[in-house]
């Protein structure tokens, strides 16, 4: 994963507008929902590119973040809530993995694999958008506990 080399909490923290990733998760939810219903590999390919940009360049660099900055942010008032860029970047990396698995399922003509992978990605994106669910909080430590001796 693109962000695993920045894993200490003591590292210098890059802050971004916390509402951006949540807005992006909303659009991601919509794209994944349509892809799931229409079984569209093309839509997943587009979402895969977005996830890849988010995972490698950062969540503030995606086309969805651009839409947020251009059209949504100017309309929002009040204090800007900030957050560390790493948690949403981690979530984008996990999304990328699911998108890759979904496309592999599509290329190998295994619709069940496509459906399950898109389903998991949609589950996480929807929770993020609707409940401010923090994927990194729930799965990262468990993954580290399993993988590291």
Partner 1 sequence: MKSLTPLVIVLALAIAFGVWYTRSRGEFRKKKTVNGPKLDASIIGVELGSRVTMVQFSSAFCSPCRATKALLEDMVGKMDDVHYAHIDAESHLELVRKLDIRSTPTTLFLNRDGVEVGRAMGTPKRSQVMAAVNAIH
Interface positions with partner 1 (CB under 8 A): 3, 6-11, 18, 33, 36-39, 83-84, 86-91, 111, 115, 118-119, 122-123, 126-127, 130-131, 133-138, 140-142, 144-145, 148
Nearest CA to 122 among 26, 18, 7, 19?
26
Closer residue to partner 1 (CB): 3 or 101: 3
Nearer to partner 1, 71 or 81 (CB): 81
Residue 118 contacts residue 29 (beta carbons within 8 Å): no
Which of 77/142 has CB closer to partner 1?
A: 142
Q: Whose Cβ is closer to partner 1: residue 48's or residue 88's? A: 88
- Closest approach, Cβ 39 to partner 1, in A, equals 6
Q: How far is the CB of 119 from partner 1 (least distance, A)?
A: 5
DSSP string of the chain? -TTGGG--TTSPPPEEETHHHHHHHHHHHHHHHHHHHHT-HHHHHHHHHHHHHHHHT-GGGSHHHHHIIIIIGGG--S---EEESHHHHHHHHHHHHHHHHHHHHHHTT-HHHHHHHHHHHHHHHHHHHHH---HHHHHHHHHHHHH--
Find the shortest distance in angstroms from Cβ 9 to partner 1.
5
Q: How far is the CB of 149 from partner 1 (least distance, A)?
A: 9
CB of 66 to partner 1, least distance (A): 21
Nearer to partner 1, 71 or 111 (CB): 111
């Amino acid at each position: 994963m693109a962000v695993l080399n920045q894993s200490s909490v003591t590292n210098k923290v890059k802050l971004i507008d916390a509402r951006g990733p949540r807005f992006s998760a909303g659009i991601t939810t919509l794209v994944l929902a349509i892809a799931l219903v229409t079984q569209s590999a093309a839509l997943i390919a587009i979402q895969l590119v977005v996830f890849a940009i988010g995972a490698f360049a950062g969540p503030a660099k995606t086309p969805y973040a651009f839409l947020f900055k251009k059209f949504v942010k100017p309309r929002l008032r009040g204090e800007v809530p900030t957050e560390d860029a790493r948690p949403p970047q981690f979530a984008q990396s996990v999304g990328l993995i699911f998108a890759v698995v979904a496309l592999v399922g599509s290329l190998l003509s295994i619709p069940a694999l496509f459906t399950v992978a898109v389903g998991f990605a949609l589950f996480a994106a929807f929770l993020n958008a609707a409940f401010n669910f923090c994927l990194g909080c729930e799965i990262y430590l468990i993954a580290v506990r399993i993988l590291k001796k």
